[in-house]
Structures are given as C-alpha cells and as structure tokens.
Amino acid sequence: MKRIYFLFFVFFFFIQVKSIQNGTVYFDHDQFSFKGGIIDTQNGIAWGIFNDEVEVDGWGKLEIYSSSSSYFSDYHKSYAMGYIEGILTKTRIQQYFNNFFNYNFPNGFDPKLIAFLNENINWMNQKLKENPQTPYWKSVSYVVNQVQGIYDGMSLDHGTNLSFIDIWIMNVEGDVEDIIEVLNITTAHFKDRFSLDHCSGLVKLLEDGSDIYMSQVTWNRWYSMLRFLKYYHYGYTETPTEDVTFSGYPGIIVSLDDWYTLNKQFIITETTMIMNNPALYKYVNTSLLLTTVRTVLCSHLATSAENWATCFAKYSSGTYNNEWIILDYSLWSPGTKVLQPKTIYCLAQVPGTVLYRDISVNLTEDTYVASYNIPRFPEIFDLAGYPELVQQYGSWFDFNEHPRAKIFARDQGKVTDMSTMQHLMRYNGYPNDPLCDDCPGNAISSRKDLIDPNKPPINPYLLASCFGGEDAKIGTYSSIQDYSVYAEMGPTHDQQPVFSWSTAPDVCKGVPHEVIFFIILFPNFIFSQSEFSEILNQKFLLIPPIYNLENWEGENFKVEQNKIDLSTSETILSSIWTKNVF
C-alpha cells in the first residue's frame, strides 16, 4: 500500500523542542520501563541524555549508556539502549524519516525490497539459533535488537505511524542503494547512480610527527541535513568495545557517513565507491550480512585495525561498497614519524570480493592517505568497472588524476595545525582553482547546487543537484582520548556563498527539508563536559560526552513510566525480530 507522509516546512521560530531531555530505562521481571527526568546509574539498565541543539549549531547531541552490571544480559542492554533513544528523540526520528521517505520513495517501499530485507533478518535469526553461544552471532542479534528498541521507544504514548521495517530501512540505507539495483527496482528516487560519489577522507601525519589528523567530509543529498552526534557506552560483558562516538542521524545506530571513534583507540571512516560492474551483483543474496550490521558488529568485537578488517570481510553482502580506513592510535605516540606495521589499514569491498592491506608504510613515506571514491587497490579498481569509466569519461575516474587527488596532493603539505586541516577539509576553490576544472563539484567539499544546469556537464557525475559536502569531522590523538570529535555542519561557505533554502537553485526545489533551520550558517562552539567555550577559530565543535553523570542532577521534567511486557515471548529474539516486519 502506498503511504503518504505530509511534509511541514517549519522554521526555527515556530518550533519548540526541549533543549535537554534525559531518562532511565529499568528492566525487572521481564518488563522494560522508562522514567523521564532521572539518571539512575545504580538501578537502571540504560540511561540517556539528549541535548537538542539542531537549531543552534546543526547538531543534536545524544548520549546513551547501558549498565556494565552482569546482572543484565547484553541482549537486554542492546534493546534498552535503542528503547531510550526512541523515546528521547522520537520527534527528530519522525522528521528525518519524512525527509528520507518522501525524497527516496515517493511511491512507497517496493514489496521486493521489503521481502529481501525480511528474508535477510530471518536468515540472521536462524544463524543465531544455530550458534546461540557464539559471540559473533550474539553480537549480530544486538544490532537488530537495538533498532527494535528504537522502534518500540517511538511507539510509546501516542504511538507512531511508522513500522519496524521503516526504521530498519533507514538504518540500512547505504545497503538499500545497492539492493534496489540488484532487484531492479525503478521506483526509488535514489536509483540515481550519478549521485553516489560520497565523501572525501584524509589521514595526515604532521611533518614533525606531533599528531595524526584523520578527517572525513560527508557528501549526501541535502534532505539529510538533520544531523546528530552520538556517544554510545555499551556496557556489554562479552565484547571488548565499550565506547563509540560517531556522526549520524536520528534513529540510526550506525554513522552512515561513516565516521567512528572507538575505545580511545580507533578512528574508522570510509568513502563510497561507484559500482560500474552490475555483473557482480550476482553475488548479492539474503544469506549475508549487510554492511550496516557488520560495521556495528565488528566495532563491538575489534581489538586491532587488522582484526576489524578481518571481521568486516566475513559474510560480506556486497552492498554499500566502500573504501574504509581504520587507524589504530594505540600503536602510535606523538613524536613518532615512522609508523609501526598494522597501525593503519585500508579495506575495499565489491560484491564477491573484500581486500584489506596494511598501509602504514604509505602514511610514513607520503605523510598522508587520501580517499575520494576511487579505489586505491588496482584489483578493486578493475572489478568495480573503473577502467571502463576512464575510457568513457577520461581521467576524472583515474585514482591519481581525479581533481580531489590532485588537490589533496598539492595542499596536504600545508596542514600544520587544526586550523589548516579544517581549511583543507572545507575547501572548495571554484571558480579560481584550476584543479576544480571550473566546477564546484570538483572540490574536497562539493557544492553541486552551484553547478550551472545550463552548462554541459564534464560527465554525468557532475550534474547540478541538491547534493554536496554537508559537514566535516576531524579526529586527533588527543581528541580520541576523551571520545571527542571536531565537527562542523552545513554546506561549505569558506569560499562559497552560504546555502539557504529560500534562495536555493531550482535543483533544490521540492527537496524535503524538515530540518528546522532555514539559512545554514551556524555559530560554532567547543563542548566539553557541559561547559561551553569558544574554540580559537570559532569554526568547529568539539563533542565529548556532554555531562559528568556523577554530578548530573537533571531538570525538572515530568516523570513518565511505561512498560513493555516480554514475559510471554518464547525468546526475546523471535519476538522482537518478527514484530512489525511484513
């Protein structure tokens, strides 16, 4: 059945959202209950704090914690973490879903897509039944269970017009972009292969060896500019990873950008590759793990960069095909110019093949590693069909000759501190930089909205569209020590005009933007343990966990209590995984 979601274009002065909300989830006698306005670290199974400052600086800040007590099972903890996220951020989840659904699926979800995802969930369920004590498959169940918790949390009180599958599709959006190609679904708006050149990434070893900066700029369709910075504390007893900070979206437990810091040790990011070899889609089926699931799973289980890559390569779905960079700061210390082996890995995936290699020598010798949607591994370059793209469209698809490859090579040596790193990652030198080739899409932070639609494009991947860089994140050796990330939201305006929906070109007309803010130019702050102070260049945000929970007293919100009874379930897994899946 086709569903229609009505869009309400609301501006910041009409909306009233509580700035800070918090609460605790309890689990007793097979029942989950929620109390708002209280952080109970002694008795709760999970608790959370949501600082909704989307209209202030472009980011909602969400912290979710689960208890480290062995009294609660990890399975229950995963559900409780999703449950409280769904409660605290319900309004923003609904807004983001409206944008996502109306832009990508104006005719509704295709039944073939629903069937594929449902069959995949059933396969995961069966694998867990066959391997009930295996940490690997138990961790898989935690991923789906956390999403189920989000849906159930949203459904409290007045309920929601969404279903579990709606929330699940949002979480596996990256995979869906390939699944609709596999299933030959033509009704989805984002079946536009020419807008899938996602993101720019850079790892920079400073010349004096004093730090390693790692950064990523998310490129996306601009309906998605409703953004969160999230901190999850997984108090699991059977997995090594406890703390994850990532940039993301309401109701989604993965980054999708992707950008993660893990356990004061890793930064993980990626850029998406173009799949120009549809013959490889024969390797995609429902008996594999989607990239969304493997990303969370391996982040739970990884103890090294190599270990993360090894884990990620197993059961690869061949969907959401990215080039990943995994940096292990635990093998490096400031002042070191020669990296130890296994400090940094690159992994690339196409359907049927996953390759990963230690690139520590590359970072040592070149002092930088860049990623920009073109595979660095020749084998993946060939398998993904890039030689044919080079033959058809020229050097734009060549790993060394692509405009961003040249810009990174020219400008990475200018990075000496945070300010110069920020400048590079937000850089768009059109029309003055010859390396941009007279196109605002050819930049580290793309602005395809500024492309002249009346001018013949360089190639079909540089068409005018409401698409481009929408943020920048930077991690450093020191920032990872307290799970922080420097982040700026919104299309770049360093060398380009500030983006505004009111003056946006025709390519942005009709794009859903239930994102509240109107002109996307945010003030910038540094956040540290609930104390706000301006960063020197007043450009970026530093987002660690916002509050010291030991001293947190909360605000005087009305206490609410709601319960979900799971006592009638034969197993929680079968109850939760089949619920509202059609």
Span 322-331, pLDDT tens digits: 999 999 999 9
pLDDT grade for 14, boundaries at 50, 70 and 90: very low
Residue 184 gets the label, from left (phi > 0), alpha (psi -120 to 50) or beta, of left
What pLDDT score was predicted for residue 136? 96
Residue with tokens 């609930």: 530
pLDDT in tens, 208-261: 999 999 999 999 999 999 999 999 999 999 999 899 999 999 999 999 999 999
What residues contact residue 134 under an 8 Å CB cut-off, 6+ apart? none
pLDDT of residue 196: 57
Identify the residue with better confidence: 578 or 203.
203
Domain extent listing, the chain: 12-578
pTM above 0.75, yes or no: yes
Q: How confident is the model at residue 447 (pLDDT cuts 50, 70, 90)?
A: very high
Residue-averaged pLDDT of the chain: 85
Q: How do strand 59-66 and strand 227-233 relate by DSSP bridges?
A: parallel
For residue 572, give the DSSP letter.
H
Name the more confident of 525 and 50: 50
Nearest to 326 by CA among 146, 172, 201: 201
Q: What is the pLDDT of residue 505?
A: 87
Q: Which of 244-248, 291-295, 369-373 shows the lowest mean pLDDT across its residues?
A: 244-248
pLDDT score of 197: 63
Could you tell me what percent of the chain has a pLDDT over 90?
A: 73
Query: 353 by DSSP, 3-state: which?
Result: strand
Give the per-residue pLDDT at 55: 80
- The predicted model gives 26-32 an average pLDDT of 95
Measured in residues, the chain has a length of: 582
Q: What is the pLDDT of residue 30?
A: 92
Residues 461-474: pLDDT tens digits? 999 999 999 999 99
The confidence score (pLDDT) of residue 514 equals 54
Give the pLDDT of residue 46. 98
Three-class SS of residue 545?
coil
Q: Which fold has domain 12-578?
A: Penicillin V Acylase; Chain A (3.60.60)
Provide the pLDDT confidence category of residue 503 given band limits of 50, 70 and 90. Answer: confident
Question: Mind listing the pLDDT tens digit for each residue in 313-350?
Answer: 999 999 999 999 999 999 999 999 999 999 999 999 99
Model confidence at 443, pLDDT cuts 50, 70, 90, reads very high
Is the per-residue pLDDT at 9 higher than 80? no
**What are the pLDDT digits (tens) for 506-552?**
888 777 665 444 444 443 333 332 322 232 233 344 444 443 333 33
Q: Could you tell me which residue, 226 or 188, shows the higher pLDDT?
A: 226
- pLDDT band per the 50, 70, 90 thresholds, residue 169: very high
Quick one: pLDDT at residue 504?
A: 86
Q: Which of 133-137, 165-169, 576-580 has the lowest mean pLDDT?
A: 576-580
CA angle 19, 224, 479 (to 5 degrees): 65
Mean pLDDT of all residues in 144-149: 98
**Which amino acid makes up residue 236?**
Y
> What confidence score (pLDDT) does residue 316 get?
98
Specify whether the CB–CB gap between 299 and 311 falls below 8 A.
no
What local confidence, expressed as pLDDT, does residue 5 receive? Answer: 33
Give 35-40 contacts, CB < 8 A, sequence gap 24+.
35/559, 35/560, 35/561, 36/87, 36/557, 36/558, 36/559, 36/560, 37/554, 37/555, 37/556, 37/557, 37/558, 37/559, 38/554, 38/559, 39/549, 39/552, 39/554
User: Is residue 195 pLDDT above 70, yes or no?
Assistant: no
Q: What is the pLDDT of residue 194?
A: 55
pLDDT of residue 192: 55
